[in-house]
Structure formats: C-alpha cells, structure tokens
Amino acid sequence: MSAALSRIFYTKPSIGEAEVAAVSAAARDGWGERCYESIQQFEALFRDFAGTKHAIATSSCTGALHMGLAALGIGPGDEVILADINWIASAAPIAYLGATPVFVDVLADSWCLDPAKVEAAITPRTKAIIAVHIYGNLCDMDALLRLGDDYNIPVIEDAAEAVGSRWLAPAGAARKGQHAGSRGLFGTFSFHGTKTLTTGEGGMLVTSDSDFYQKVLALSNHGRIAGESKQFWPGLIGFKYKMSNIQAALGCAQMARIDELIARKRQIFAYYHAALAGLPGVSMNPQPAGTENGYWMPTIVFAPELGVSREALLAACQAANIDGRVFFWPLSSLPMFTAEAANQTAYGLPARAFNLPSYHDLTEAEQDRVIAVVKAVMAAARP
C-alpha cells in the first residue's frame, strides 16, 4: 500500500457556499431585533421536517436529552431504560439527574433495544425508556410504545443518528409517514459535525405534546415561565443549552439541502451493500419493509465463524490510510457502570463489527479502497 494514498475520513460535513453565505449574513446582521431570526426559522424548518408540533433548538443533543428528562421530573432513585449498545451521550443525562441508567440487551439484527428485555427490566422505579435509533436503524417503536402504554412509562426517542430514517405510510393511506423522533413523548437530534446535518455543535428537541413543550421551553429559558410579566424573573432553576443564531443560520442552509444530504448517505450505503452484503456471514444495517433507513453510519457485522476481528480490520484500515471506526462498546462495560454480562448480544457484537467511512464527498474509488480492505481482511481470516 502506498503512503501516497489520500486519507479517507469516516465522516466530514458537506458545507457549500450557501452555508458560508448564511453564516456570514447572520454574523453581520443577525443581532438586535433579528437576534433570534435564524433560530426561529431553523426550529420551524425542523419541526416540519420531523412532523412534530414543536421544536426547540439546543447547543447539543446531550443538552436536549438532559432538559427533556428533567422536564419529566426524573431524579435520584429513578431508573431509565436504554440499550447497552450506545454512545455515552444517551446515558450521561440520566446520571446528571442522579437517576440510574438500566442497560438492556439489543436485537441481533437492528442493534437496538430488545422490547422483550425492556419489559423484563421494568420496575416500579422505571420513569422512562430511551429508544436510540442506532446508526440510523429504527427501533421497534410499535412494541416499545405498546409497553409504554401498558406500564404508563414515557418512551423517548434519541434520533441523533436517524435524520432521514422513517416509517413509510402504507400505499394509499391518508396519513403521511412518520419520521424518527416524532413518535415518542419527545425526540432529540444532534447536529454535531459528524452527523448527517450539522451546525458544528447543536441539537434539537421535538415534541407534539404542547404541555410538555411549555415545560421544556421554560427550562430552556433559565426557568423563565411563558407569560411571566416581570423581567429577569425565573420561576425555577432551568438550563442554558441554547443554540446561537449564527449556528442556526448554518442549520437553515443545511435544511435547504436535507433531501440531498440524506440521499447521498443512502447512495453511499447502497454501494457498500452491493459489494459486501451478499458475502456469506456478512450483515449490514437493516431496512425492514415499510421503513427507510437514513444510514447515518454504514456498519458491517461479521458472523463469528468468519474469524474477522475488529483489531485486524482496524490495523488494515490504518495501513491503507482509512479512518477506521469501531462499533460502540457496551456502556455497561465502562468503568463507571456495572457490567451486565447477561446482555450477550451487546457483548458479542462489538468485537466483530465495524463502521465504514460515509462522508458526503466520498468517491466511488475511495469506497472501492474500503471494500478491498474489508475483503482482504476477510480472506486473511478464512479459517
């Protein structure tokens, strides 16, 4: 392998001249009476996109989750259920509130919450279930929402990785499809630079529950309750997780390209899928009938009998100047939690799973380089 091969990043945003112009305009003119203009525009664009009544822009998805859980009154002694395969950002806000994350096992095909395991983990202390649509893969929301109804527990969607993932409307149906994040009590999104749509750092909380929206809105305004006539008069301790108007201007310009950004993710996935998914023992992100996957992160899982290891693939990628990215570790295996070894699927997956590069401007020649490395590692591992 030649050292002259260009570096293939695993992710990188697509920022065009329109985005640069929008940010410049907001930096120049977005002050005084226009200081919230782009924020309000971005919120309106995003709630239309997600199909919810309300949206609140935030400085991060982590902040959006923190506020949403706080609005539910979650605190010490409470438990919140989420999948063991996750990024820490979905669990940290539970810990901020002094509550306990309960990590349950995932399904082998979607790598998302196993509803049967969720039901088994429910206790009188369970105050919420967080469904994270990992790598763009949709959780089984029908089953999770049914559990939420049966046990009277709010179901929340962390859709940070699921821009473009949705349930399609049946042919001829009157209602439109439903976007990830729009079905739970509230949904959260991330616009970190690695995500499908970016504002550099940023997030969004969406909900169609107007009472809940008012609660989060007050929290997001440092506890100032809507309708309060006294200036600088917070009625409770809130948060400061706001998005700046300049970031929101970037978000608006990205929203103008949202269909293109999602279509490109899907095209990149399709190219990998055509080359790799047919190989025996290889599986990739699923897309069940009646759904569309936004494919934020194309991911490959090798059956145990193939003998392919994460370490071998990581080393081969490094040698080929490809930014390799390992699958998430089980959160319960981290030092600050207690290992849940019974979560066999979550503990068995990461050693033989891998994320493939998928940024907007990735070329087919670069994808071919990635595919060649995967095939070479598979050939070398052949038992």
Ligand X SMILES: *Cc1c(COP(=O)(O)O)cnc(C)c1O
Which residues have a catalytic role annotated? 195
CA dist 161 and 20 (Å) reads: 24
Strand pairing class (166-167; 178-179) = antiparallel
Q: Which of 93, 115, 203, 294 binds ligand X (CB under 6 A)?
A: 203
CA dist 69 and 66 (Å) reads: 5
CB of 157 to ligand X, least distance (A): 10
- Span interacting with ligand X, options 69-77, 153-161, 329-337, 342-350, rule CB under 6 A: 153-161
Classified as helix, coil or strand, 264 is helix
Counting contacts by CB under 6 A, is residue 250 touching ligand X?
no
Alpha-carbon distance values, 70 to 1, 162, 325 (Å): 52, 23, 32
Cβ atoms of residues 206 and 68 within 8 Å: no
Rank residues 86 and 208 by Cβ distance to ligand X and give the closer one: 86
Torsion of CA 57, 63, 65, 70, to 10 degrees: -110
- Span interacting with ligand X, options 156-164, 223-231, 236-244, 282-290, rule CB under 6 A: 156-164
Q: Which of 22, 50, 57, 61 binds ligand X (CB under 6 A)?
A: 61
> Exposed/middle/buried for 283, CB within 10 Å: 0-12, 13-18, 19+?
middle
Rank residues 199 and 287 by Cβ distance to ligand X and give the closer one: 199
* Token code pair at residue 150: 């049966």
CA–CA–CA angle 139, 64, 56 (5° rounding):
105
CA dist 299 and 352 (Å) reads: 11
CB of 86 to ligand X, least distance (A): 6
* Token code pair at residue 134: 């990992």
Phi, psi (rounded to 5 degrees) for 175:
-80, 155
Q: Which of 10, 42, 87, 302 binds ligand X (CB under 6 A)?
A: 87
Q: Which of 11, 38, 90, 285 binds ligand X (CB under 6 A)?
A: 90
CB of 297 to ligand X, least distance (A): 9
- Span interacting with ligand X, options 36-44, 87-95, 137-145, 346-354, rule CB under 6 A: 87-95
Counting contacts by CB under 6 A, is residue 161 touching ligand X?
yes
CB of 252 to ligand X, least distance (A): 18
Angle, to 10 degrees, between the axis of helix 17-29 and the axis of helix 245-255? 150
Counting contacts by CB under 6 A, is residue 137 touching ligand X?
no
CB of 290 to ligand X, least distance (A): 23
Q: Which amino acid is at 255?
A: M
- Span interacting with ligand X, options 154-162, 286-294, 306-314, 362-370, rule CB under 6 A: 154-162
Binders of ligand X: how many residues, by CB under 6 A?
13
Rank residues 58 and 345 by Cβ distance to ligand X and give the closer one: 58
**Can you give the binding site for ligand X, defined by CB under 6 A?**
60-62, 87, 89-90, 132, 158, 160-161, 190, 192, 203
